[in-house]
Amino acid sequence: MQKEIDNCLSIINSGGLILYPTDTVWGIGCDATNPEAVKKVYKLKQREDSKALICLVSDIRMLEKFVYEVPQPAYDIIQLSTKPTTIIYDQPINVAGNLIAPDNTLAIRVASDEFCQKLIRKLKRPLVSTSANISGRPTPMSFSEISSEILKGVDYIVNLHRDKTNNNPSTIIKLSNSGIVKIIRK
């Protein structure tokens, strides 16, 4: 696992894209603070940059460095969730501007996967995590379902868990600082 983490760090730190297993589905990732890398993700997915992407952080301490104010209920949701849960936060900070949605929000999940946690801890900043598919096409549930366009479009493919069928995408909850809670995806 350490070799895979080192290989990923080399690519991510040079502005490249990785394809990696997450706590949900296979993801396309890059440094969430690098606008040029984020632009490459949108291009590969053939997705409008007005449609925001998800980021992964290693823990709550890291989350607090990239959101101006984490609403109190978020701590309970993160702690009590029994499945991967992504929360859309108001006022993200210290991330690439083209990662932030037009309404000044950003979807962030505290990673529960061991590989992701270790990679993000070493990276010391959030990692973009968007499903490994062209926008509008079905999300691949296993490595073997990932299209050749995606495989050829990344700079590095993690050599872990390729035989595993992945879980469903995460639950997504929008949690505004005004107290409004909205479930976007169960």
Distance (Å, whole) CA 50 – CA 30: 18
Torsion sign across C-alpha atoms 115, 121, 122, 128: positive
Q: Where are the beta strands (DSSP E) in the chain?
A: 18-21, 26-29, 54-57, 85-90, 105-110, 127-131, 156-157, 171-175, 181-185
Q: Is 105 helix (H, G, I), strand (E, B) or coil?
A: strand
Give pLDDT, residue 124.
97
Task: Give every CB contact of residue 159 below 8 A, 6+ residues apart in sequence.
Answer: 4
Distance (Å, whole) CA 118 – CA 22: 12
Give pLDDT, residue 38.
96
Give pLDDT, residue 87.
97
Distance (Å, whole) CA 124 – CA 40: 21
Q: Mean pLDDT per 10-residue run, the chain (186 residues)?
A: 95 98 92 97 88 92 97 93 94 96 95 94 96 92 93 96 76 89 87
Distance of CA 54 to the CA centre of its chain: 4
Give pLDDT, residue 167.
65
Distance (Å, whole) CA 72 – CA 75: 6
Distance of CA 103 to the CA centre of its chain: 19
Distance (Å, whole) CA 102 – CA 106: 10
Give pLDDT, residue 51.
76
Q: Could you tell me the domains of the chain?
A: 2-185 (3.90.870.10)
Q: What's the whole-model pTM score?
A: 0.93
